[in-house]
Structure 1
Amino acid sequence: MPEEEKLLTEAIRQSTTWLRGCRSLTDAQSDIKNSDRNRVAVSLFHLAMEHHSSILHLARTKHYGSAFALIRSQLEAYIRGVWIHRCATQKEIAHFLANNQPPKIEQLIINIESLPVFENGSLSRFKKKIWKISCDFNHGGYAQISWRLSGNKIVSDFGDEQIIMLLNIANTFTLQTVTELSVLAESEDMAQKVKAIHEEEFGSKHSSSVI
């Protein structure tokens, strides 16, 4: 097996083990306080993790274009969840539930980064870095097209390095998501366990509470 293929196989294994460990923590969480805010936020975080699971499945089955298209969905579910959990007023939550119209993602990030834990601006920098290409993948733009044209053939021509990068992004957002869930659940035990699982799989240099 070529070296790059081995690296991709290992990246898929790591991501699978990591997500399974996260689910073991979140599925066991049953004492979150009942409120519209918490129900909506938890639902969005659950959706973000489901997108990660789908990215993994698509990567295993080599449906790489569809896998890349989901990274924007994972990012948006996470950001909306954080905004609902930490920033939204009761009126804004009610409006979201009635009309399905949250503020634009730029405004959500501005609100989120007004909070001390996010004030370093890393979330907005990361969004700026990947947003254009993630929208391109999501809507069938040039990036999707260019990785399907090889000479006179139309094939999926994604490199292993790109797939590994995608998995690393999905892994990071799942770390952020479960960390945020631990805050919502007021569970320091959950926060410590998710950090330990992440360090065991990826090493301490990749562990961070902010992107």
Structure 2
Amino acid sequence: MQTVAEHTEVVDLVRWINDRTAGLVYQSDERSQLAVGCFDVALEHQAAIAVLHSSELYGSAFALIRVLSESLVRGLWLYQCATEVELTKFRKGHIGKDFGTLVAEYEKKIGTPGGVFSSFKLSAWNQLNDFTHTGFLQVSRRHKHGRVEGSYSDQDLQKALGAAGALGLIAAVQLVSIAGRQDLLPSFLDRMSAYAKADSGG
């Protein structure tokens, strides 16, 4: 298996997050419950990416990065931005807004227009779509020395694992915040800082 160190780091992170978010109690209002559901799905996708990587099912792991990011951003938007009418539309399966709009509205709401998620969308969204929808980037990695099988570079895999780790941490911080557990936030922020340094090679 490639990128053993990065994989071990993500697995450790998944366990660390689970240990600190298991048993959290949330508000029962609809907005909180919908957002919490999104963040929990995001964490499941994070864990699934680690499992898929360990099984060398790299194509499926890559396909989930976009899905993970959508779960996270939907949760952020539902909690911070959605009107009551939009919450009702979401329950009926009709948000009516694309990923870029959700990002823009969320970042405007928290006062960081053109922020981290906008940069993420600008730099990675087209590639993520390609991997999720079996575009050229995904298909071109199915050939290896005359055989049809996954062929993903260490750099590709490092980026995927790094994204899964970072996005999952953001989702976990949201869960802690919604649960009102301010006492847990410093440890999460420290872990985010340490993870960012490790992911960047710092």
Query: TM above 0.5, one fold?
Result: yes
Given that residues 72 and 171 in structure 2 are in contact (C-alpha distance below 8 angstroms), is that contact kept between their aligned partners in structure 1? yes
Q: Work out whether 1:176 is the aligned partner of 2:170.
A: yes
In 1, Cα distance between equivalents of 2:190 and 2:170: 14
Matches within 5 A, 1:195-206: 195-198=189-192, 202=195, 205=197
Secondary structure, in 3 states, of the residue corresponding to 1:118? coil
Q: Which residue of structure 1 lines up, in the alignment, with residue 6 of structure 2?
A: 11
In 1, Cα distance between equivalents of 2:72 and 2:124: 15
Task: Provide Cα deviations, 1:67-98, integer angstroms capped at 9, x if missing partner.
Answer: 00000000000000000011101111011102
Q: For residue 30 of structure 2, what is the amino acid of its counterpart? A: D
Given that residues 55 and 70 in structure 1 are in contact (C-alpha distance below 8 angstroms), is that contact kept between their aligned partners in structure 2? yes
Task: Provide Cα deviations, 1:41-66, integer angstroms capped at 9, x if missing partner.
Answer: 00000000100111001100000000
Q: Which residue of structure 2 lines up, in the alignment, with residue 38 of structure 1?
A: 32
Matches within 5 A, 1:120-139: 121-139=115-133
Q: For residue 9 of structure 1, what is the amino acid of its counterpart? A: V
In the alignment of these two chains, the number of paired residues is 199
In 1, Cα distance between equivalents of 2:198 and 2:90: 34
Q: Work out whether 1:187 is the aligned partner of 2:181.
A: yes
Structure 1 moving runs of 4+ over 6 Å: none
Deviation at 1:189, TM superposition (A): 1.4
Deviation at 1:125, TM superposition (A): 1.2
In structure 2, runs of 5+ residues without a counterpart are none
In 2, Cα distance between equivalents of 1:206 and 1:111: 30
In 1, Cα distance between equivalents of 2:82 and 2:198: 30
Given that residues 46 and 168 in structure 2 are in contact (C-alpha distance below 8 angstroms), is that contact kept between their aligned partners in structure 1? yes
Given that residues 86 and 112 in structure 1 are in contact (C-alpha distance below 8 angstroms), is that contact kept between their aligned partners in structure 2? yes
Secondary structure, in 3 states, of the residue corresponding to 1:140? coil
Q: Which residue of structure 2 lines up, in the alignment, with residue 145 of structure 1?
A: 139
Identical aligned pairs, as a percentage?
A: 26
Given that residues 21 and 197 in structure 1 are in contact (C-alpha distance below 8 angstroms), is that contact kept between their aligned partners in structure 2? no
Deviation at 1:206, TM superposition (A): 5.9
TM-score scaled to structure 2, two decimals? 0.90
TM-score scaled to structure 1, two decimals? 0.87
Secondary structure, in 3 states, of the residue corresponding to 2:56? coil
Task: Provide Cα deviations, 1:106-161, integer angstroms capped at 9, x if missing partner.
Answer: 21111111123533522111112111111111111101111112353212111122
In structure 1, runs of 5+ residues without a counterpart are none
Task: Provide Cα deviations, 1:177-210, integer angstroms capped at 9, x if missing partner.
Answer: 112222222221121122244456x37x369xxx
In 1, Cα distance between equivalents of 2:39 and 2:11: 18
When structure 1 is superposed on structure 2, of 51-60 and 107-116 the one drifting more is 107-116
Q: Work out whether 1:158 is the aligned partner of 2:157.
A: no
Q: Which residue of structure 2 lines up, in the alignment, with residue 64 of structure 1?
A: 58
In 1, Cα distance between equivalents of 2:159 and 2:104: 26
In 2, Cα distance between equivalents of 1:18 and 1:195: 13
Q: Which residue of structure 1 lines up, in the alignment, with residue 19 of structure 2?
A: 24
In 1, Cα distance between equivalents of 2:74 and 2:155: 29
